[in-house]
Amino acid sequence: MEAVPGGRWVAEIYGCDLSVLENPKMVEAALLDAVMRLGAPKGSAQSVVYKFHPQGLSAAVVSPVAAVMIHTWPEDNASATLDLYFYRDGVDPEEVLKGLTRAFGAKEESAFRYWRGTEHAIRRRGFGAGKAE
């Protein structure tokens, strides 16, 4: 199977700095920086941030070649989940993820990473004609 450019990095981060995690503008800036570092052309990214009350937020920054999302749980050890999608060769998603964990002041991270078109721990299942693999 030929490798397809890009992949997906999924992470959970814990023990974040609440003053950052609860600040919509700071979260949006960190995600925008991540999307640009994943190869987005300047000026191509769009973002949406939804602030929950009394706490927490969800945000996404998307572009033609990359997208980064976050969902926060301040009440659960100041944690958040991050999804990074990227579609270009020559980017370093590991460094982008490290940059996000630093931006949010995370003390711990657990992550799953895979490149498109390669073997990985997630199995693809088919559901045609009433049978699943």
pLDDT above 50: residue 11: yes
**Boundaries of every domain in the chain:** 18-104
Pick the CATH number of 18-104 from 3.60.90.10, 3.30.9.10, 3.30.365.10, 3.40.50.150: 3.60.90.10
Instruction: Choose the weakest-confidence range: 7-21, 36-50, 66-80, 101-115.
Output: 101-115
| Closest listed residue to residue 85, CA positions, set 10, 28, 4, 8 | 8
Q: What per-residue confidence (pLDDT) applies to 116?
A: 60
For the entire predicted model, the pTM comes to 0.83
